[in-house]
Amino acid sequence: MRNKHRLIHHYIDLITVLTQKDLKVRYKNSFLGYLWSIAHPLAFALVFFIAFKVVVKIRVENYTLFLISGLFPWQWFANSVNGAPMIFINNASIIKKVNFPKNVLVLTHVLQDMIHFLLAIPVIALFLIIYGKAPSVSWCYGIPILLFIQFFITYGLSIIVASTNLFFRDLERLTMLFTTLLFYFTPIIYPEHMIPNHYKPLIHLNPMASLMVSWRNLFMVGVLDIFEICLALVYAIIIFFLGHVIYKSLSWRFAEIL
């Protein structure tokens, strides 16, 4: 039992050290630092606002707030999954020389992007205040619930991509294409009620749709839909389990392939 506790403690220390290292490297010689983590989704929000609110004149109340409520959590997902293909390749020297659980590299990668998302939540709160609203008390339990679900979805997809990319190097480009297409199939820049009725059942086939709708509802009106939460949780369990199985079946060949 003592050895097991020691192993868990060592595992946590390793995750902490690697996450701190990645954050320091990311912001090394960066003058703007934290601002870069919010500049990207805010820039996209501006573009989509001009395209859909000014030009197309989409009928959505508080459209700027509507956009950033979905774009900020999406950025965490997209950054983690798009960066996943090169995780093991960029750490080839460590993988070959040191015996440690390789999935920790993916775990710290996802945690780093999650931290950036958490640091961006005050910006969403600021926009709420600008629009005459206020953060809801439900954020206290809603944010941890959605963080938990999104972490396992993001980690599961990231470990799948990182592991299989060692054997199929074209996966890096396919991943970028996948996340781009998934973005437009996810109700982020448009509300789910605009989807034609005969296509609405298909939205539930998108593992990110329920999650992004839940984030937006939590941030904007402070409510969570039980059905959406349960559906997102089911996807999280399936994707995490699938990622674990794929990683376990391929990880023994990592050092050989690299």
Q: What is the block-wise mean pLDDT of the chain (258 residues), using blocks of 10 residues? A: 61 71 61 65 80 77 89 95 91 78 90 90 90 90 96 97 89 90 92 85 91 95 94 97 94 76
Q: Tell me which residue of 69, 67, 39 sits closest to 53, measured CA to CA.
A: 67
Sequence-ordered alpha helix ranges (H) in 196-225: 209-221
C-beta separation of 83 from 175 below 8 A: no
State the pLDDT at residue 119. 87
State the pLDDT at residue 39. 75
Burial of 164 (0-12, 13-18, 19+ CB in 10 A): middle
Query: What type of residue is 82?
Result: N
> What domain range is 47 assigned to?
2-257
Instruction: Give CA separation, 134 vs 5, 67, 74, in Å.
Output: 43, 17, 22
End-to-end CA distance of the chain: 35
State the pLDDT at residue 198. 84
Q: How many domains does the chain have?
A: 1
pLDDT in tens, 134-147: 899 999 999 999 99
State the pLDDT at residue 21. 65
State the pLDDT at residue 9. 64
State the pLDDT at residue 40. 75
State the pLDDT at residue 176. 92
